[in-house]
A and B are shown apart, each in its own frame.
Chain A
Amino acid sequence: MYNTKVRGVLVEGNKSYADITRDIIEPIESKVPDWWKYAFIISIGALLFGVWASYITISEGIGTWGLNNSVAWGWGIINFVWWIGIGHAGTAFSIFLLIVRQKWRTSINRAAEAMTVFAVLCAGLFPLIHMGRIWMAFYIMPYPNTRGPIWVNFNSPLFWDVVAISTYLMASAVFWYVGMIPDFATIRDKTASKIRKAIYGFLSFGWVGSARGWLRFEALAMILGGLTAPLVISVHSIVAMDFATSVMPGWHTTVFPPYFVIGAIFSGFSMVLTLMIIIRTVYKYQSYVTDSHINAIAKILVFISLIMGTAYSTEIFIAWYSGSEYEYYTFFNNRISGDYTIAFYGMIICNAIIPQLFWFKKIRKSIILVFIISLFVNLGMWFERYVIVVTSLSKDYLPSNWSTYTPTVVEIGVYVGTLGLFICGVLLFLKFIPMIAIHEVKGILKPTSNGRYHKK
């Protein structure tokens, strides 16, 4: 059994290799449970609500949203940033821990990567819908055209977003899929059903697990990991620059890119925690996603939470120290006090204060409390984006421009729709894809598999 000094046994319960295969492909082989069906119906319902809302938005226009001349960005951009943040789970988890060779990632990375792909898909919908004339979305792509020939503005953060997010979606989907190829081969060889054999056989690309294949596979994983890791940093830095390159009070700060990246990793990790607790409880995967895994993620969260707290304090301090009355007004009269205090204090409490409970071992050991705290962090990160977007826009330099913002049912519908899409995707993932990387977990079962064999 692979037993590290720091983390202890990574896979509990004295599992054999055949046990691992059986345990992980069992949900694929068996019928779907009732809760899965109900959850799927609910998620489809939410998705249809979203389809309706998107239809209204596209057919009638952005006027159906609660936006106005001052608050020109509302829930659309809030949810876009929120989803992108959650979409950092897979990369933060899987890729950063891969390149620093943390073996405990193996039982969680697959689910984290799945979340990334679905979350980035959800995020990508918002800018598209927000364009208003979605049928002209292709204008954003730089291609030789008949309009001048004028090119897109390569110096605009909004265009950087297009490049970065589409690359990020492609990279995370590729990383996810390549990692699944050997597992699809396992299902192909194990399943009794002919249909499944044909489908997974097709998806497994003819993988047989030869020595050269594994060597190149591992090299490719490191290459993809190494290339995607800096991409994580750049994607959310660019999202931050959507705000930071403007001249709005509360946005025009140099702390934004690192603050957004850390925030994204924070929300990504908390979403991983939420999802892994559900998966391990429902599918009885406590031997793979052990208490030690939960403990490790909780420890990371408490650390990131401190960074978040520091970022919030830095912003407030600079607003006062800079002597800029507009910055001061935004932070002290429109966030700490004023119309949007609920969102502001919600953000501080959920992100900077509640996760501090993870300092206590007793709380880290209680799965229910960890689960609840992870939900608070998800909520807190949504509040953070709300605070950033709405407070700065609602009261800018000209008091005659000031206005308040409340979302309409159409905006809420689009958001609920993406939640439905995400849950629907996750449910399909749980049913059709091995939710733990089979070959990777097998690779950490024995110390010999980790290159420590007869090493003199």
Chain B
Amino acid sequence: MVGTIKNNNIFGVFDDEDVFLSAMRSMEETGIRIKNVFTPYPIPEVFRIMGLKTRMPYAAFIYATIGVILTYAFLYWTSVIDYPVIIGGKPTNTLSFVIILFVMTINIGIVMSLVTFFIIQKLGPGKSARIVHKGITDDKYVIVIEKTKEMSKEDSQRINYTLFEYGAIEVGEKEHVENI
């Protein structure tokens, strides 16, 4: 299945933001690779710890540029090439195009950014959510660590233990966890 692995994942549930953040920091320092975290609301500190960055604003700029070019090409073709209408001798390639250009740039920028978001985040109407823990959309913070093939039983037990040590209220294992 897209976005998941068949391997098991270890997850730790936290009920306090500060404890959760310090656990994340400590795990990064000890070299345990965090696969994903789930939070009920965006926490900028999480992005910093995991070193996450997005290129969406650049994409949006490119989309808007495409929007302005496409719209101008359309206006030029309709009003200058295909069916020029002379209104009181005014030029057919006119400055008043700027208003439609402005609006359509925004229009195309919005639609394409939205589509990009849904595609890269693999979201869509009716998609069934793979929920690690019921509280992730309420008041719980979840850290997920991937259990790789190379990991011995002791290794995964050590991770379990570490999660508890760092303040997790619940630790468990789960198949199919989103990695995006």
- Whether the pair B110, A227 counts as a contact (CB closer than 8 A) is yes
Q: Which one of B47, B64, B117 has the greatest number of beta carbons of chain A within 10 Å?
A: B117
Query: Contacts A167-B106, A219-B56, A227-B110 known; A205 to B137 CB distance under 8 Å?
Result: no
A16 to B114, CA, bound (A): 32
**Interface digits, A425-456 against B, CB 8 Å rule (1 contact, 0 not)?**
00000000000000110110010111101100
**Interface digits, B93-123 against A, CB 8 Å rule (1 contact, 0 not)?**
0101101101110110111011001101111
- Whether the pair A234, B110 counts as a contact (CB closer than 8 A) is no
A16 to B48, CA, bound (A): 25
- Whether the pair A208, B41 counts as a contact (CB closer than 8 A) is no
Residues of A within 8 A of B96 (CB): 154-155
Q: Which one, A153, A154, A159, A190, contacts B138 given CB within 8 A?
A: A190
B150–chain A nearest beta-carbon distance, Å: 24
- Whether the pair B42, A150 counts as a contact (CB closer than 8 A) is no
Q: Which one, A153, A159, A186, A453, contacts B45 given CB within 8 A?
A: A453
Q: Which one, A160, A222, A451, contacts B57 given CB within 8 A?
A: A222
Stretch at the interface among A127-135, A209-217, A293-301: A209-217
Q: Considering the complex, give the chain A residue whose CB is closest to the CB of B138.
A: A21
A17 to B20, CA, bound (A): 15
A266–chain B nearest beta-carbon distance, Å: 23
Residues of A within 8 A of B52 (CB): 211-212, 215
Query: Contacts A170-B107, A219-B57, A224-B110 known; A439 to B37 CB distance under 8 Å?
Result: no
Q: Which one, B83, B104, B178, contacts A148 given CB within 8 A?
A: B83
Considering only residues 144-166 of chain A, those with a C-beta below 8 Å from chain B are 148-151, 153-155, 159-160, 163-164
Query: Does residue A369 face the partner (Cβ distance < 8 Å to B)?
Result: no
Considering only residues 59-118 of chain B, those with a C-beta below 8 Å from chain A are 60, 64, 74-75, 78-79, 82-83, 85, 87, 94, 96-97, 99-100, 102-104, 106-107, 109-111, 113-114, 117-118
A95 to B32, CA, bound (A): 39
Query: Does residue A359 face the partner (Cβ distance < 8 Å to B)?
Result: no
Q: Which one, A189, A215, A440, contacts B54 given CB within 8 A?
A: A215
- Whether the pair B45, A163 counts as a contact (CB closer than 8 A) is no
Q: Which one of A154, A188, A202, A230 has the greatest number of beta carbons of chain B within 10 Å?
A: A154
Query: Contacts A439-B41, A446-B17 known; A234 to B121 CB distance under 8 Å?
Result: no
Residues of A within 8 A of B118 (CB): 205
Residues of A within 8 A of B113 (CB): 220, 223-224, 227
B: contact size bracket: 35 or more
- Whether the pair A439, B44 counts as a contact (CB closer than 8 A) is no
Residues of B within 8 A of A160 (CB): 99-100, 103
- Whether the pair B78, A201 counts as a contact (CB closer than 8 A) is no
Residues of B within 8 A of A214 (CB): 39, 41-43, 46-47
A155 to B107, CA, bound (A): 19
Query: Contacts A151-B78, A227-B109 known; A202 to B103 CB distance under 8 Å?
Result: no
Query: Does residue B149 face the partner (Cβ distance < 8 Å to A)?
Result: no
We find that the number of chain A residues with CB closer than 8 angstroms to chain B is 68
Residues of B within 8 A of A41 (CB): none
B177–chain A nearest beta-carbon distance, Å: 9
Residues of A within 8 A of B137 (CB): 182, 185-186, 188-190, 207-209
- Whether the pair B178, A223 counts as a contact (CB closer than 8 A) is no
Residues of A within 8 A of B128 (CB): 201, 206
- Whether the pair B38, A219 counts as a contact (CB closer than 8 A) is no
A447–chain B nearest beta-carbon distance, Å: 11
- Whether the pair A213, B75 counts as a contact (CB closer than 8 A) is no
A261–chain B nearest beta-carbon distance, Å: 14
B59–chain A nearest beta-carbon distance, Å: 9
A215 to B54, CA, bound (A): 7
A212 to B55, CA, bound (A): 12
Residues of A within 8 A of B175 (CB): none
Chain A to chain B: the 5 pairs with minimum beta-carbon distance, closest first:
A206-B127, A17-B139, A451-B44, A214-B42, A442-B41
Q: Interface residues, chain B, CB within 8 Å of chain A?
A: 17-18, 21, 36-47, 50, 52-54, 56-57, 60, 64, 74-75, 78-79, 82-83, 85, 87, 94, 96-97, 99-100, 102-104, 106-107, 109-111, 113-114, 117-118, 120-132, 134-139, 178, 180
Q: Interface residues, chain A, CB within 8 Å of chain B?
A: 16-18, 21, 142, 148-151, 153-155, 159-160, 163-164, 167, 170-171, 174, 178, 181-182, 185-186, 188-190, 201-220, 222-224, 227-228, 230-231, 234, 238, 439-440, 442-443, 446, 448-451, 453-454
